[in-house]
Amino acid sequence: MILAVSLAISAIFGSGVYLLLQRDLLRVVVGIVLISNSAILFVIAAGLSRGDAPIHPLPKEGLLGAGTSDPLVQAMALTAIVISFSTAALLLGFVYRLDAAHRTVDVEDISESETREAEALEKEEEPEREQEPKHTAAEVELGEETR
Amino acid sequence: MTGFVGSLVLALAVGVPWALAAALSLCDGRKRWVGWAAVAGLGATLAALVRLAVLVVGGGQVEMTAGGWPEGVGITLRADALGATFALVSVGVIFASLLYEVLGGVRSRTFPALVLFMTAGLTGLFLTGDVFNFYVFFEVSMTAAYVLASYREQDHQVRAAFIFAVINLLGSVVFLIGVAALYHVTGSLDMAIIAERIDPVQPNSVIAIAAAIFVAFSLKLGLFPFHFWLPAVYVGSHPPVAAILSGALANIGSYGLLRFGGDLLPRELELGSAAVLILGSASIIYGALQAISRRDTAEVLAYSAIGQAGYVLVALGVGGPVGYAAAVLYAVVNSLNKGLLFLAAGLRGPLVGVAFAVGAFSVAGVPPAAGFLGKVALFESSLAAGTIPTSVSLIVLIFLGSALSFVYSFQIYQRRFWAPKPEDPGDRGKPSPVAPRVFVILLAALALGMGLWPEPLLSLSVAAANVLAGDP
């Protein structure tokens, strides 16, 4: 049982890390969700014991005997699930915001698009730089439309 | 009988920001009264924390079990000198930043509520006696920080906030695994009981847990090999937000390292002290060199933060009462400096240069600014470090680091206030409103005042170090 649980935790953690290193931001979010879930499994594994549900009218052995499973890890796991769920929602909010602005969720495309926007802003602000080759501005617009 | 007053101020310090944050998140933060209500609430929290600090330094720790549960069953709030010091300083920096923003005009409807949520998380974290509760409060303040980092919602800020959130969530998960492992080893979540029960355990089974916790807090603090997310976040962010992140949130890292390293796992800290010293030294040198090579003020300050975190780590690596006192003192002084510098860097016009210069003096450790105290404490702790070669190399390192920080502090001062380049956007346009400018001058006066009358700060840090060293 211990081996099975630890293998499951490491497999989930490993796939989470793999996804975290991708360029696609949605995959990064999924990676974080997987990693948090592996931590939650670890929390449960920290107090893994078989027994009755720890609900109030306890069997005679009480909390001290082997009759009841550890309630504390379950409470911790629940709290951790709520936290990881809410942070995942927040991260998805950030991704949505970036997608709305750039029409892409790929890190490199986003930074390219940011550079282009910054260049376009500079052109607007400083008209004296107009003598630079004009086709760059056209390219910027073309690039925006094809997206 | 300090029992009742103690529990009352403890409950107030944790409860007031919670209740107010929940209420104000329903209101529009751009209205003036909402901002001032938040300032008033934070002021009340700060007053409660001052009372608490006085109580704790005078009469040992204050304890309270939440919800009227019997002791050992309910979640314990426990204030000792270490927690009270960090809570006081962090809430002080947040209070200053919020006041600065309210004086200048809040531009986001959620800003006051988020700042209060972060305060609630931070006070809870510094004043809790339960490791899982620590994790929960830590997530509350970090979540508020992720949203604050994207304040004003510029695209590059949202992207920086995303990176910040992902990296720090990874750190939180590693910390959660450490907490679960501590529970597995000791069968308790209460810090005092863990510290007791971890003692007879073989260190080789705990060293992995200690390493996980160390990595988690180093990520928060932005130490050398874990620093890569830090400059991107600070450069994009709004000055008060940068001041809060650097002056208050980074304290989680210093406090966590001190609490878990010095209090819960002292033997493992001693075993790993060589690694801690080396990482700290690498942080100092790397941060200072990078800071010298940067031009943008926010970027210089971000790299400087990496270097300053290294000093805290070096003092922690030295250990013992002297080392812990130096670490606490340096962390406190550093968060004040960073708060002042980031706030002053966001303004322009007369008087701002003076405030910035005081902050820069303080970072470089020139008397009479508060930073001098931190540097003196560091020199003292390196003299106390075991062997003579270690002491000598630490003194050389700290001297070198201070010289480098002197160079970069005055480079940015010179660039911003002496020879402003026309393309520097910081010096274009009209000066900032008078109120925030007067306010940063007051902050600078406070930094100078602490250097001139260091007694309260010194006694707080010594009391905090005594908590860690074990004698009350």
Which DSSP category does A132 fall into? S
- Compute the average pLDDT of residues B170-181: 91
Q: What is the pLDDT of residue B62?
A: 79
Q: What is the pLDDT of residue A41?
A: 92
Residue B429 confidence (pLDDT) above 80 = no
Straight-line distance from the first to the last Cα atom of chain B, in angstroms, rounded to the nearest whole number: 19
pLDDT digits (tens, 9 = 90+) for A44-80: 888 777 777 777 666 665 555 556 777 888 888 999 9
Band the pLDDT of A147: cuts 50, 70, 90: very low
Residue contacts between A and B (CB atoms, under 8 Å): 81
pLDDT digits (tens, 9 = 90+) for B280-305: 889 988 888 888 888 888 888 888 88
Angle, helices B155-186/B203-221, rounded to nearest 10 degrees: 160
Q: How far is CA A66 from CA A46, A49, A59, A60, B227, in A?
A: 16, 8, 10, 11, 46
Q: Count CB neighbours of B405 within 10 A.
A: 25
Domain for residue A116, yes or no?
no
Mutation target among A76, A106, A108, A128 for the B interface, most CBs of B within 10 A: A76
Q: What is the pLDDT of residue B231?
A: 82
Residue B398 confidence (pLDDT) above 50 = yes
The A-side interface with B (CB below 8 A) comprises: 20, 25, 28, 32, 35-36, 38-39, 42-43, 45-47, 72-73, 76, 79-80, 83, 86-87, 90-91, 94-95, 97-98, 101-102, 110-111, 114, 117
Collect all residues with Cβ–Cβ distance below 8 Å to B23 and sequence separation of at least 6.
none
Residue B324 confidence (pLDDT) above 70 = yes
Q: What is the pLDDT of residue B261?
A: 86
How many percent of chain B have pLDDT more than 90? 8
Q: Distance between CA B413 and CA B79 in Å, rounded?
A: 40
Band the pLDDT of A132: cuts 50, 70, 90: very low
Q: Count CB neighbours of B293 within 10 A.
A: 12
- Contact criterion met (CB below 8 Å) for B212 and B178: yes
Residue B416 confidence (pLDDT) above 80 = no
Band the pLDDT of A133: cuts 50, 70, 90: very low
| Cβ <8 Å between A28 and B166 | yes
CA B297 to chain CA centroid, Å, is: 20
Domain for residue A70, yes or no?
yes
CATH of the domain at A91: 1.10.287
- Contact criterion met (CB below 8 Å) for B161 and B233: yes
Q: What is the pLDDT of residue B35?
A: 85
Is residue B313 within a helix (H) or strand (E), and if so which, with residue range? helix B297-318
DSSP track, B195-254? HHHTTTS-HHHHHHHHHHHHHHHHHHHT-GGG-TTHHHHHHHS-HHHHHHIIIIIHHHHH
Q: How far is CA B74 from CA A138, B123, B185, B227, B308, in A?
A: 66, 19, 21, 37, 38
- Does B283 contact A at CB distance below 8 Å? no
Residue A138 confidence (pLDDT) above 80 = no
Helices (H), B368-454: 371-384, 388-413, 434-452
Q: Which of A25, A46, A91 sits opposite B184 (nearest CB)?
A: A46
- Contact criterion met (CB below 8 Å) for B197 and B188: yes
- Does B421 contact A at CB distance below 8 Å? no
- Does B423 contact A at CB distance below 8 Å? no
Straight-line distance from the first to the last Cα atom of chain A, in angstroms, rounded to the nearest whole number: 51
Q: Distance between CA B421 and CA B434 in Å, rounded?
A: 24
| Cβ <8 Å between A46 and B183 | yes
- Compute the average pLDDT of residues B86-100: 90
Residues in A touching B161 (Cβ below 8 Å): 94
- The answer to whether the bond into B368 is cis (omega within 30° of 0) is yes
B64 φ, ψ (degrees, to nearest 5)? -155, 135
Residues in B touching A91 (Cβ below 8 Å): 162, 165-166, 169
Q: What is the pLDDT of residue B15?
A: 85
Domain for residue A120, yes or no?
no
Counted domains in chain A: 1
Domain for residue A130, yes or no?
no
Band the pLDDT of B420: cuts 50, 70, 90: low
* Single pTM value for the model: 0.87
Domain for residue A133, yes or no?
no
pLDDT digits (tens, 9 = 90+) for B199-211: 888 888 888 899 9
Q: Which of A36, A79, A111 sits opposite B136 (nearest CB)?
A: A79
Helices (H), B62-154: 81-104, 111-127, 131-149
Domain residue spans of chain B: 2-469
Band the pLDDT of A82: cuts 50, 70, 90: very high
Q: Which of B136, B169, B180 sits opposite A87 (nearest CB)?
A: B169
- Residue ranges making up the domain that contains A19: 2-105
pLDDT digits (tens, 9 = 90+) for B249-279: 888 988 999 888 888 888 888 888 888 888 8
| Cβ <8 Å between A87 and B136 | no
Enumerate the β-bridge partners of residue B128.
Answer: B77
- Contact criterion met (CB below 8 Å) for B45 and B12: yes
Closest CA to A34 of A86, A79, A80, A84: A84
Q: How far is CA B290 from CA A143, B299, B432, in A?
A: 36, 9, 30
- Does B208 contact A at CB distance below 8 Å? no
ipTM reported for the complex, 2 dp: 0.83
